[in-house]
Every structure is written in C-alpha cells, then in structure tokens.
Structure 1
Amino acid sequence: MTTLLLRLGGPLQSWGTSSRFSRRGTDRVPSKSGIVGLLAAAQGRRRTDPLEELLALRLAVRTEQAGRLERDFQTAARAGERTPISISTRHYLADAVFLAAVEGDPALLEGLQESLRVPHFPLYLGRRSCPPVGQLDQGLRELSCVEALQQEPWRASLWFQKATRRPQVALELVADCEAGEPGAELVRDEPLSFDPRHRQWAWRSVKRHEPVTRDNPEFIENTATVPVTGQGVVDLHDPLGVL
C-alpha cells in the first residue's frame, strides 16, 4: 500500500459540505470533495471529466493546527448602484494546518505527486480565495493512510510550535472507514460530479481514531519562571540552560 502526504496550510481555508443559499459554512477538517478537487485541478481535469480514479483513493486527515473560525459578511451590487443584489455570510478557518493522506494505486499517486509540483490549474484550499502556502507535496510513504499519519512528526507552523508550551501534543485523526464499522459517521462530501449543470455528492463513512501523540520540537524544557507581584508569572530565557 502507498500513501501520498499533503500539507494543507494557508492564511484562510474553507471546506464547506453543508452550504446553502446565502450562508457558506466550513467544516473543521478538509472535505474529500475539496481534496479531490485540488488533485483534479493539479492534473488538469475539467469539471465535466470523470472522477472515478480519484474517488477510489482512501483519505485520512490529521489536524496539525486547528486555527480559528472567521466570518465574512459580503455584499455585491451592480456598477453605479448602491442597493446590493446579493448578500452572503461566509466562514473560513484562519491559520489552520492539516496533514492529509491519500492512499491508493502507486502509479496514480506518483503521477499526482508530479502534478502537485507543476499544477495545470491554480490550486486552492476549498475556495478560490484560499491559496495554499508552502509545499503541498510531503512525499510518498509505503504505509496505509492511517499508519502514515500515526508516524509523521508534527507539521504545525513554527510560530505555533513555539507558542505551544507543552512537550507533546495530541492531534485529531479522521479517516475513511467501512460502512457499519463501530464508531463510523456519515458525511456527504464525496463528489460524483463537479459539472456546474449537475453537481452531485454521495455519502461516505468516516471514523475518528485515537488522537496521535507527537513531540513538540520547539519545546524548551528548562524555561525558568519567577513570580512578579501583581503580574502573575513571567517566563525568563536562560541562554546557558543548555549547558
């Protein structure tokens, strides 16, 4: 079995699976629809092209950095007019980072890896206004998607690792599973067609695994603290602490 790892990070992301009318929501983890769309764009597939090959991939996602929920209120009006013709509320994840693993045919994954390095169409994290930051492709692993995410080091942003004052972190892991498996949940985010004339999604089963415990490489074990009257506790950096 072979797995391709993707690091999904950027200022904004939006992975909506239940958006309706003027309200555009986002899930807390990337959707399969969004990741399949990203891979299809990298390959140069059109919206009307078949997706069976990509839908056969098994998906798992680990949350490296949960980010925070942001809401954007948008209006649009015709040129020269002040009355808006559309009003919408859109939700985004700000400063979030995820590690996604897609498992499948080795030849297909090798081709996807090359496409991600030189994508045919622009890539984005759920919406066109959300471009990725950094290198998406994190390499191939000869493991299942769940096993790969259980072994990978923590991939959060450097500033976030430094701000997390713990030696270890527990990272949430969600993966595809068989229907009826204990603990399985149904989500409607498997794209059958991206054709704008007839978009279709199907249900898939996912399971929340035990959180993955990873070391924090930026944790400073010997940080000293001293109390300051009226100000709680102040951290002191000890430049000779390593000695």
Structure 2
Amino acid sequence: MSVLTLRLAGPLQSWGSSARFARRTTETAPTKSGVIGLLAAAQGRDRTADLTDLAALSFAVRIDQAGTRLRDFQTARHAVTGKPMPVSERFYLADAVFVAAVAGDDGLIHSLHDAVRAPVYLPFLGRRSCPPQGPIDLGTRSGHDPVTALRDEMWQAAEWHQKRHRRNAFVTLPLLSESAGDGPLGAVLRDQPLSFAPTQRRYALRNVISTTLDVPNRHYQPSQRPNSTAKPVPVSRHNPEALLTPLPPQSPLDGH
C-alpha cells in the first residue's frame, strides 16, 4: 500500500456535500468526493467514467489552517430563456490550508502522483472558481495508511500563521478519517462518490471520525526568561517635546 498526500491551499475553497438549489454550503474540510473528483480530472477521466478504483481509496484530511468562512450572493440568467435565476447564496473558506491523503494499491497511487504533477485538467478546490495557491503534490509514501502519513507530514500552514504559534513546540491539528471495518462510528457524511455523470450524480454515506494530531512547529521559539541576577534595564519614558526644537526667547516688544 502507498499513500499520496496533497496540500490544498488557496484564496478560496468550497467543499459541499449537501449543497442544493440556491444555497451552496461548504464543509469545514475537503470532502472525499471533492478530492476524488480532483484526482479523476488530473487523470483526464470523463465525468461518466467508472470511479470504482478511486472510490475504494482510503481517505483522511488534516486541518492545518482552518481559514474563515465567507458568504457570497450571485445572480445569473437562464442560458436559453434569458430570464433571471433566483439569487444563490454561496459559502467559501478563505485562507484555509489542508493536507489530504489517499491510500491504495501502489500502481494506482503512483499513477495519481504522476497525474497531479502533470494534470490533464487543472485542479480546483471544490469549485472551478477556486484554483490552488500552488503545486498540490507533497509526494508518496510506501507502507503507510493515511493517518500515519498525515502524522509524519510537516505542518503546512502559511508561515505567518505558524509564527503566531511560535511559543508552542507542537500544535494540535484536527484530523478527519474514515471509520475502518468494525471501528467506532463517527459523523455520517454523504460524500462517497459513485458517479460524477452530469445527469446522474450519486453519492453514498460515509462514516467520518474526528480526532487530533500533534505536529511539530518548525518556527518554535522558546520564551527566554529574564536572568534574576541581571540588573534591571532602565525604562525611558516617551517625551514627545524632547524632539521639538526650542524657540528663541521673544522680546517683550515683539508684536507691537
């Protein structure tokens, strides 16, 4: 078994699992159907192609930077009649960073790795209007499951976000993984892809377990305690008048 890890970061992302009609919501992390769709597009598969091999991949995702939820309103007109369509409410995640991992047969994982490095169709983060910030490929690992691969993967949050936690040697990151076999049941999510056909999109239910991982912070800076024997440093008080040039003394007759 091999694992492919992906860094999913961009200005906007949107991963819907129950979006319907004029209200298009987003989950707090990438869905399995969204990531499988990204991989299928990278391979150049048609929307009506068989997804059995991709849907059978084990999947997990780590939330490295949760981002901020945004709401947008969009208008449109019918392509045939030209009549205005209902105003749609769409939700996005701004400045979020995730690390997703898929595990399966060595040959399939390596073919997916080649595909994301030279995709047939450009990848997007849930919607076509959400391009990734940069390359999404983080490489492959042999003999790992998705959770183990994410435990070993470096923290991928933006540098400014990591420096905000520089006093912590480790950071605790949320992890969403699949319930394996007779394991514990978690939240139920309808994001197990069965078909991406435009006329018959179908998804099955999937059990998702929420846990956490402790990951090292490479920007860790231990706080330096002051030396008790050192002499206190005098604190100078701010005096804005000290920067002003003194005026020469005026004669009592000035101004007369």
Give 1:164 deviation, angstroms. Answer: 2.7
Residue 218 of structure 2 corresponds to: 217
Task: Give the whole-Å Cα distance in 2 for the aligned partners of 1:43 and 1:37.
Answer: 10
Task: Give the whole-Å Cα distance in 1 for the aligned partners of 2:93 and 2:167.
Answer: 23
Task: Give the whole-Å Cα distance in 2 for the aligned partners of 1:99 and 1:144.
Answer: 14
Residue 40 of structure 1 corresponds to: 40
Residue 31 of structure 2 corresponds to: 31
Amino acid at match of 1:152: E
> Deviations 1:68-124 (Å, cap 9, x if unpaired)?
100001112479xx9843310000000000010100001101010011011001210
Residue 207 of structure 1 corresponds to: 209
Give 1:184 deviation, angstroms. Answer: 2.4
Of 179-188 and 38-47, deviating more is 179-188
Q: Does 1:192 align with 2:194?
A: yes
Distance 1:78 1:173, change over 3 A: closer
Give the paired residue count: 226
Structure 1 segments unaligned to the other structure (5+ residues): 230-243
Amino acid at match of 1:15: W
Of 98-107 and 149-158, deviating more is 149-158
Give 1:160 deviation, angstroms. Answer: 1.1
Task: Give the whole-Å Cα distance in 2 for the aligned partners of 1:64 and 1:219.
Answer: 16
Question: Is contact 2:185-2:207 (8 Å) kept?
Answer: no
Distance 1:78 1:15, change over 3 A: closer
Amino acid at match of 2:175: L
Question: Is contact 1:169-1:214 (8 Å) kept?
Answer: yes
Task: Give the whole-Å Cα distance in 2 for the aligned partners of 1:188 and 1:222.
Answer: 45
> Deviations 1:214-237 (Å, cap 9, x if unpaired)?
22212332478999x9xxxxxxxx
Aligned residues: CA RMSD: 2.5
Moved beyond 4 Å, runs of 4+: 223-227
Q: Does 1:176 align with 2:178?
A: yes
Q: Does 1:128 align with 2:137?
A: no
Amino acid at match of 1:115: A
Distance 1:223 1:121, change over 3 A: farther
SS of 1:76's equivalent in the other structure is: coil
How does the TM-score come out when normalised to structure 1?
Answer: 0.86
Task: Give the whole-Å Cα distance in 2 for the aligned partners of 1:83 and 1:193.
Answer: 31
Please identify the structure whose Cα radius of gyration is greater: 2
> Deviations 1:114-163 (Å, cap 9, x if unpaired)?
11011001210000000111221101112111111112221111121122
Residue 156 of structure 1 corresponds to: 157
Task: Give the whole-Å Cα distance in 1 for the aligned partners of 2:205 and 2:78.
Answer: 38
Give 1:207 deviation, angstroms. Answer: 1.2
Residue 57 of structure 1 corresponds to: 57
How does the TM-score come out when normalised to structure 2?
Answer: 0.82
